[in-house]
Structure 1
Amino acid sequence: MIKLAYFYLTIIAMALMVSCNKQTPSKKVPAPPPTEDKEDPPPPPPPPVVPTSLIYQKTDGSLGYNYYANQGETNKVNLIPDFSMAGYKGGGVAIPHSVAIKKTLSPLSGDNRSQIQQAIDEVSALTPDANGIRGVIALLGGVYEVSDRLNINHSGVILRGIGQGADGTVLKATKKEQHTLINIAGTATSQSGSTINITTPYVGTGSKGFRVANVSGIAQGDRIVVERTPNQAWIDDLDMAQYGWTTDYYVVQYERKVVAVTEDSITLDAPVVDPIQVKYGGGKVYTFNPTGRITNCGIENLRLTSVYDNDDDENHGWIGIELREAENCWVRGVTCQYFGYSAVTLNTGAKNNTVEECAMLDPKSVTTGARKYSFNINGTACLNLIQRCFTRGGRHDYVTGAKVPGPNVFLDCVATKTYNDIGPHHRWATGLLFDNIVGDEIRVRNRGASGTGHGWAGAQTLFYNCTSLSKTIVVESPKGALNWGIGCKGLGRSGAGFWESWNVPVQPRSLYLAQLKDRLGSQAVSNIATQAQLSGAISGMLTAWAGEGSFN
């Protein structure tokens, strides 16, 4: 019995051991993550910053532009225009320096007009070289009394002295009547093609092309006039009828060159600087042939003075130098003193000319309207550059007249002891750039009944990095157009035009030079700018120079 009981107990114990050794199935447990450190993935890049400025610098240094709507409008189809085609031979081309001397003169006792005019006529009769230049008339140092106007009416004639200081070459205007001392003038141009309607409903500022009714008779390379033909609705919206504005008078012609033609469109070398809208009358184009215009004439290294009886004398030298129907010409290194109206006036048909390192000092006339316009762009003059100039005692020192078509550029100029404002003076001058101008009153505005009923003085006028030393800068904008004050400094500002970066200059320092670099490259800038301009030290140098002696 005992043995049998032991046997059964052994069997039970073995069964229990087998049962305890069996494992209950369970869910699979994931392996723990590795213990080594890992960097967090980089955050997504921030969205690109969208510039809001009308002009801005890209990361590569070139310029970018944003579209805008004009005053009273909502359609953003306009751009600040490219001004860089202004200047000798379309901008970025150096003025000739190494030109052969064909005649050399010394001052005579008494009147020198005859000997200087005879030399001009003799050089005018020479055959021009491959660059269209006939030669230089060299005036040695001293004082040349000149009894009446000197006329240059043929291409390629250069009148050059030894310097613009009082000890240089001085031409003294002795005639006791209002007159121009040096006149560079060709003859008027004429239309050579029929008018063709522009069919694009709205051609915005800054545009270089548009559709036309037909392109028959228009070819690449043609000179062309873009004519803006306003209607009464435009005058009414501006409220200018009260000042005698009429549709016929405000037809404005813009001279351009055709660079491309398609089946219904043309592309131009320079931009539109005043919107052309069907609702405001639209516009037309026609080709023309400026056969009478003269080119490649220059006035250099002279001091021009005038006799006068007293500070208010009105009967003496009035304009130092005037250009009319003259293209690709220049005035450089000329100081004008005591003239009643201007140092240099660029008038009708003056295109792609450069005026640089010139001065207007101490004008003598009554200080009132139509006097003391130191550097003046008038008539149909377009695509001109006035740079590195200085004035003392003027009224409207850097100024335009009625209906002047742009682009035109004033760059790096200084005005001192001024009696009135810098800017478009009256009656709808368009496409103006005042780039780094230093003076007192700087204004673009509705002049209302001033003068003969000037009304809106200008449209598409840009004051860029300009400085008013003691006055308020005014920027007002007419309906359907826009004026700008960008990077300007002054005692204060007024007007409901476009303002940006008040009292904080913007980059690039010069818009004209930056646009020129974008279009033609750095060498084009080097060809026409000085190191002081590139460094931003030019205004101090001009003030210290004040038109006495050579600038460089």
Structure 2
Amino acid sequence: MAGAGAVYGQHQPLVHTGDKGRLVYNTYANEGEDNSVNTIPDFSFAGYRGGGVSLPQAPVKSSLYPVPGDNRARIQQAIDSVERLPPDSHGFRGALLLKAGLYEVNGTLYIKQSGVVLRGEGQGARGAILKATAMIQHTLIEIKGSGKGYGVDDSNRKKITSAYVPVGATSFTIADAAGLKPGQAVVVTRTPNQTWIDDLAMAQYGWKAEAYQVEFERTIKTLQGNTVTLNEPIVDVLQDRYGGGYLSPSKINGRIQQCGVEDLRLESAYRNDTAEDHGWKGIVLQRAQYCWVRRVTARFFGYACVSLEDASVYNTVEECAMLDPKSITTGGRKYSFNLAGGAAFNLVQRCYTRGGRHDYVTASKVPGPNVFLDCYATDTHADIGPHHRWATGLLFDNIYGGQIRVQNRKAMGTGHGWAGAQTLFWNCFSYQSDMKVESPRGARNWGIGCVGKQQNGSGYWESWGIHEIPRSLYLQQLQERLGATAVANVTTTAQRKGHIWQLIEAWKGEGRMSE
């Protein structure tokens, strides 16, 4: 299949709806290989609590009205008071409700205890507006866990003995399963070698094998002898030729859980359209699990509306908008919805951007899987897709935007090289320039059911110019794993009926989308 996927009709579809209405998967070989053993992975584990779970409604425990001048200390004190409350049976301490009006905030607001929600009275111009007034680059709201790393038990590290663990697989063999048990959290570490660097020709851009060890959090489902079966699929190949990998028990600590930011409008003060000394990120989640950001509109920030960072997993961002960012238009700016630093199993859906550069984007070595679903971008200044250095397991599902690309970025930036692997553009639409799909050796990127002005790149293509069935791969995978109720839990009626780009474009982050 290497190099041949660009012509539709020369191969069987990799995933399609079968006679019984369920998905049928066909295997494929990665670029430069001839072993047809890989399958498109199940992305449906992305989202709050692993997908298919409704976002909760925490009870209000405290309320504030705005006052003239800086409100930061008042709001932080109120957050701190909620943080001191005992959690209920669902893990919630409660919500702080900000009544409608303008709150000037001179600095960062922090949520540092699990079970705390910051809620406003709407993301429209008449809702609760937090205005970042500090004239330095800063984050306005931060949901912040503690600790670092994955709590890996290196003393019990298990060598993966399967010579080739394909994409989409959930099972493989290890040298010794002693001490492991079903339900246990583990980390699968991919350990690339110099052969991998050489085959990708990345040394010229400063890539070093030891810098590309990537850790994938998973859970053991079953054990049979030395064969391990995981709950969630592998989204990057582990093969002996490129250094293989190992599995380790893990016990991560310090993650913050059951926190949310919702129904707010965030704005940044700024000196002029290219100013950089003002609000930079609207909301950042760090070491966050089972958290969410919903119905938040951010205006004039230099970098992002929402950035998920530092091993943030199983979170949902929905019905959020990034409008009119203020900064110079070049590298490291205007990344409207950003995944970075070990982010995995996250869902970004029903979002809107205007004036961004990399609107739905990942940073380096993001492990995945992660999903962008039913999102819209206009007035774009650069491409949607993985940005640099081997992000894996990405699904861009029904994304409308300008340039949409997964490619070898070579010396761009600081030696970005191959931006992503196992990146799937499913039923996307590009209104500008081109849609580009390139595949690195030993991996695969896909464009399936996409429509655009120009098809570019020799990666894997199917059904160019015609949208595929099912409309949404993520939602179909979710339904087949958890049922129709799970899909209803995380979607709108319009979303279940078809494309919602017109609805999002008409909404533009002003008020509730349903209105």
Q: TM-score range by the shorter chain?
A: over 0.9
Aligned equivalents of 1:300, 1:192: Cα separation in 2: 37
Q: Kindly provide the CA deviation profile for residues 239-262 of structure 1, in whole angstroms up to 9, marking residues without a partner as x.
A: 111101101101011111111122
Which residue does the alignment assign to 2:37? 77
Matched, 1:92 2:52: yes
Measured after TM superposition, the shift of residue 315 of structure 1 is: 0.2
Deviations 1:500-542 (A, max 9, x none): 0000000000000000000000000000011111111411000
The match for 1:152 is 111
Q: What do the CA deviations read for 1:466-501 (whole angstroms, capped 9, x no partner)?
A: 000122100000000000000000001111100000
Distance 1:371 1:359 in 2: 16
* TM-score with structure 1 setting the length: 0.90
In 2: Cα distance, 1:537 partner to 1:516 partner: 18
Q: Does 1:56 align with 2:8?
A: no
Is structure 2 residue 74 aligned with structure 1 residue 112? Answer: no
**C-alpha distance in 1 between matches for 2:174 and 2:152:** 18
Aligned to 2:488, the other structure's residue is in SS state helix
Provide the residue aligned with 2:416 in structure 1: 454
Q: Report deviation, 1:115.
A: 1.0
Task: Please state if 1:491 is matched with 2:460.
Answer: no
In the aligned structure 1, how far is the partner of 2:320 from the partner of 2:184?
Answer: 34
Distance 1:219 1:110 in 2: 56
State how far apart, in whole Å, the 1-side matches of 2:153 and 2:244 are.
21
Kindly state the Cα deviation for residue 232 of structure 1 after the two structures are TM-superposed.
Answer: 0.3
> Offset of 1:548 from its aligned partner?
0.8
Which residue is 1:17 aligned to? none
Question: Which letter does structure 2 place at the counterpart of 1:281?
Answer: G
Contact 2:93–2:116 under 8 Å retained in 1:
yes
Q: Which amino acid aligns with 1:118?
A: Q
Q: 1:344-359, aligned counterparts within 5 Å?
A: 344-359=306-321
* Cα displacement string for residues 196-234 of structure 1 (whole angstroms, at most 9, x for unaligned residues): 111100000000111111112221111111100000001
One-letter code of the match for 1:350?
Answer: S
CA–CA distance in structure 1, aligned partners of residues 401 and 171 of structure 2: 36
Q: Which amino acid aligns with 1:186?
A: G
Alignment of 1:468-507 (within 5 A): 468-507=430-469
Choose from 164, 175, 178 the match for 1:202. Answer: 164
Match of 2:293 in 1: 331
Q: For residue 318 of structure 1, what is the amino acid of its counterpart?
A: W
Counterparts of 1:171 and 1:456, CA distance in 2: 38
Give the aligned residue type for 2:152.
Answer: Q
Q: Is the 8 A contact 2:370 2:395 kept in 1?
A: yes
Measure the CA separation in 2 of the matches of 1:94 and 1:503.
34
Determine if contact 2:374/2:499 at 8 Å carries over to the other structure: no
Question: In the aligned structure 1, how far is the partner of 2:451 from the partner of 2:432?
Answer: 10
Partner of 1:418: 380
Whole-angstrom CA distance in 2 between matches of 1:165 and 1:320: 16
Q: Does 2:250 correspond to 1:288?
A: yes
- 1:182 is aligned to 141
Tell me how far apart the structure 2 counterparts of residues 490 and 284 of structure 1 sit (CA, whole Å): 41
The share of aligned pairs that are identical, in percent, is 57
1:337 positional shift: 0.3
The whole-number CA distance in structure 2 between the counterparts of 1:537 and 1:469 is 16
Kindly provide the amino acid, as one letter, of the partner of residue 115 in structure 1.
Answer: R
CA offset at residue 192 of structure 1? 3.4
2:5 corresponds to: none
Do residues 551 (structure 1) and 513 (structure 2) align?
yes
5+ residue gaps, structure 2: 1-10
**Which among 210, 221, 231 is matched to residue 248 of structure 1?**
210
Q: Secondary structure at the match of 2:253?
A: coil
Alpha carbons 2:341, 2:366 under 8 Å: kept: yes
Measured in 2, the distance between the counterparts of 1:126 and 1:256 equals 32
Q: In structure 1, what is the equivalent of residue 153 of structure 2?
A: 192
How much does 1:191 deviate?
2.1
- Separation of aligned partners in 2, 1:426 and 1:260: 35
Secondary structure of 1:507's counterpart equals: coil
CA distance in 2, matches of 1:220, 1:156: 28
Q: 2:410 and 2:403 mapped to 1: Cα distance?
A: 18
Pick from 246, 257, 269 the counterpart of residue 231 of structure 2. Answer: 269
SS at match of 1:191: coil
CA distance in 1, matches of 2:399, 2:50: 22
Unaligned 5+ runs, structure 1: 1-50
What residue number does 1:172 align with?
131
Answer whether contact 2:171 2:227 (CA < 8 A) is retained: yes
Q: Would you say 1:213 and 2:175 are equivalent positions?
A: yes
Counterpart secondary structure, 2:181: coil
Q: Displacement of 1:168 after TM fit? A: 0.3
Q: Which has the higher contact order (CA 8 A, sep 6+)?
A: 2
Cα-to-partner distance string for 1:38-93 (whole Å, 9 max, x where unaligned)? xxxxxxxxxxxxx9210011122111100100011110110000000000000000
Of the three residues 453, 477, 484, the one matched with 1:515 is 477
Task: Give the whole-Å Cα distance in 2 for the aligned partners of 1:470 and 1:241.
Answer: 33
Work out the CA distance in 1 between the residues paired with 2:381 and 2:262: 28
SS in 1 for 2:503: helix
> Between Structure 1 and Structure 2, how many residues are aligned?
502
State how far apart, in whole Å, the 1-side matches of 2:221 and 2:84 are: 34
Other structure's SS at 1:257 match: strand
**How many angstroms apart in 2 are the aligned matches of 1:146 and 1:257?**
41
Q: How far apart, in 2, do the equivalents of 1:195 and 1:339 lie? A: 43
What is the rounded CA distance, in whole Å, between the counterparts of 1:162 and 1:148 in structure 2?
A: 21
Q: What residue in structure 1 maps to residue 402 of structure 2?
A: 440
Match of 1:394 among 332, 335, 356: 356
Which is higher, the Rg of structure 1 or of structure 2?
1
1:526 aligned residue (479, 485, 488):
488
Deviation at 1:100, TM superposition (A): 1.5
Give me the CA root mean square deviation: 1.1
Whole-Å separation in 1 of the counterparts to 2:483 and 2:497: 18
Q: What is the alpha-carbon distance in structure 2 between the residues aligned to residue 513 and residue 191 of structure 1?
A: 33
Give me the whole-angstrom Cα distance separating, in 2, the residues matched to 1:310 and 1:227: 46
